[in-house]
Amino acid sequence: MKLKQISEHIWSIKTWCIIPIHVWLVADQDGVTLVDAGVPFMAKGIVKSVNKLDVGPLQRILLTHGHSDHVGAINKIKIGKDIPIYAHPIEIPYAVGEAPYPGRKKPEKTLASQVIHPLEADDKGKMLTIGGLTPYLTPGHSPGHVAYYHEKDGVLLAGDLFTSKKGKLHQPMPMFTADMKKAVKSSTILEQLQPKRLEICHGMSVFNPAKQVNNYIKRMNEKYV
Q: Which is nearer to Zn ion, 110 or 212 (CB)?
A: 110
**CB within 8 A of 112, min separation 6: which ones?**
96
> From the CB of residue 29, how many other CB atoms can be counted at a distance below 10 Å?
8
Query: Given the complex with Zn ion, which of 57 and 102 has the nearer CB atom?
Result: 102
Shortest separation between residue 34's beta carbon and Zn ion, angstroms: 15
Query: In the 3-class helix/strand/coil scheme, how is 117-178 assigned residue by residue?
Result: EECCECCCCCECCECCEEEEECCCCCCCCEEEEECCCCEEECCCCCEEECCEEECCCHHHCC
CB of 65: closest distance to Zn ion in angstroms?
A: 6
Shortest spacing between CB 180 and Zn ion, in angstroms: 13
Cα separation of the two ends of the chain: 40
Q: Tell me if 160 contacts Zn ion by CB under 5 A.
A: yes
Instruction: For the CB of residue 124, give the shortest distance to Zn ion in the complex, in Å.
Output: 28
Determine the 3-state secondary structure of 83 from DSSP: coil
Q: Which is nearer to Zn ion, 9 or 67 (CB)?
A: 67
Q: Which residues inside 180-209 make contact with Zn ion, applying CB under 5 A?
A: 201
Nearer to Zn ion, 133 or 201 (CB): 201
Binds Zn ion (CB under 5 A): choice among 9, 22, 60, 67 = 67
The amino acid that residue 170 corresponds to is: H
Q: Which residues bind Zn ion (CB under 5 A)?
A: 67, 69, 160, 201
